[in-house]
Amino acid sequence: MKVTRVVAGAAVAAAVLVSLNATGAPAAPAGKVAAVPGSVPGAAALTAQQSAADSKTLRELAKRTGMKIGTAVDMGALANDATYKQHVASEFNSVTAENVMKWSELEPTRGTLNFGPADELVAFAKANGQSVRGHTLLWHNQLPTWLTDGVASGDIDSAELRQLLRQHIFTVAGHFRGKIYQWDVANEVIDDNAQLRNTIWLQKLGPGYIADVFRWAHQADPKAKLYINDYNVEGLNAKADAYYALVKQLKADRVPIHGFGMQGHLGVQYGFDGRALANVQRFEALGLETSFTEVDVRMIMPTDNTKLHAQANGYSILLRACLLAKRCVSFTVWGFTDKYSWVPGVFEGEGAANLLDENFGQKPAYQAVSQTLALAG
């Protein structure tokens, strides 16, 4: 099905997409800003796509590609900022809860489930003809304090922890059953040294917890595509290799895992690995679909034109990989305006990671995404 998305367009467009993909440069040496000349895509052949892109929203352009274009949604901004809300509805056909489906948000008090905000997002998506990505059933961050404190004090032993996790997955995936097209079942379970991450899950439940969470999620919502999801796995590197080996093993063990999610939190100052397509293709060869799930491209502040164009290139490398792959189902950005971004709060001195600036003005990255979608459709 993905083949038609490129073949159906002009052969020229396909050739441009392929050649653009080949320009992805390997990571720049540490500390060196990636040198990216010109805007992306910048070829003269793109003039027709340029005007198509100018008059259409991202979701309109993505429609013919067969790939969903999504954003993480900040529920506070959705409630209080009409411009933000209007953009979520018009630009995207997939939404992810930035926070409200995480365990700490759903069950701040043990035994009391607060599905209100997440249900609001699902209703918003339905009203606007959007699909919903679920994020996330298992993570080591944003866990309720009653849970982490209980484990730390020994009040919750390993057997009880396993039962709590099982119950959590059945309750949450069951609550949204039939309404979520992709679930991030396991998030960030491998660390930056390419080892299984040393979390309470690994410590208390052992490595088998990963297979368990997929089996439970599949029972709770048999139609949802179940994803394993992480950052720094967008190219060919040791961490992505570790995921490849893990997924291969899970498949061999007949664990119901269907998707590999690459978060796509990039930084201009690190350069970009141009081998994203090769990485996507090796996971698809294991029988998985793929998605980019949390794309943003941060930079050291202040912004300048070179950084903004390098940023556009980062977005383009990932988007082209998705468009050129056979089973890359969705491309989600982790917010779309610099007005509401997690980056400045977490990465000191960095920011401006999104497609639109703080006033919802289009940055070169937006133009690049828009034009690349116009080419592919």
CB of 292 to ligand XIL, least distance (A): 13
Active site (annotated) includes residue 91 = no
3-state SS, residue 312: helix
CB of 23 to ligand XIL, least distance (A): 28
CB of 203 to ligand XIL, least distance (A): 21
Active site (annotated) includes residue 107 = no
Q: Shortest CA distance to 343 belongs to which of 231, 260, 235?
A: 231
- Active-site entry in 91, 107, 188, 289: 188
338 binds ligand XIL (CB under 6 A): no
CB of 215 to ligand XIL, least distance (A): 22
DSSP state of 357: -
Handedness of CA 158, 102, 255, 334 (dihedral sign): negative
> How many whole angstroms separate alpha carbon 32 and alpha carbon 107?
43
CB of 13 to ligand XIL, least distance (A): 33
3-state SS, residue 230: strand
- What amino acid occupies position 166? R
> How many whole angstroms separate alpha carbon 291 and alpha carbon 192?
21
Give the residue with the Cβ less far from ligand XIL, 103 or 366.
103
Q: What angle do CA 340, 341, 347 make, to 5 degrees?
A: 145
Binding mask 282-301 for ligand XIL (x = CB under 6 A): ------------x-------
Give the residue with the Cβ less far from ligand XIL, 178 or 345.
345
Please compute Rg for the chain using Cα positions. Answer: 20
> How many whole angstroms separate alpha carbon 221 and alpha carbon 265?
28
- What amino acid occupies position 8? A
273 binds ligand XIL (CB under 6 A): no
> How many whole angstroms separate alpha carbon 104 and alpha carbon 146?
9
Give the residue with the Cβ less far from ligand XIL, 263 or 330.
263
Are 251 and 243 in contact by the 8 Å Cβ rule? The answer is no
Distance of CA 91 to the CA centre of its chain: 16
Q: Which of residues 130-169 bind ligand XIL (CB under 6 A)?
A: none
Give the residue with the Cβ less far from ligand XIL, 263 or 291.
263
Contacting ligand XIL (CB under 6 A), which of 23, 99, 104, 303? 99
337 binds ligand XIL (CB under 6 A): no
104 binds ligand XIL (CB under 6 A): no
Binding mask 188-227 for ligand XIL (x = CB under 6 A): ----------------------------------------
187 binds ligand XIL (CB under 6 A): yes
> How many whole angstroms separate alpha carbon 26 and alpha carbon 272?
6
CB of 294 to ligand XIL, least distance (A): 6
CA torsion 128-134-135-136 (nearest 10°) is: 160
Nearest-CB residue for ligand XIL: 342
Q: Which residues are catalytic?
A: 188, 294
The residues that touch ligand XIL, with contacts defined as CB under 6 A, are 98-99, 187, 263, 294, 342
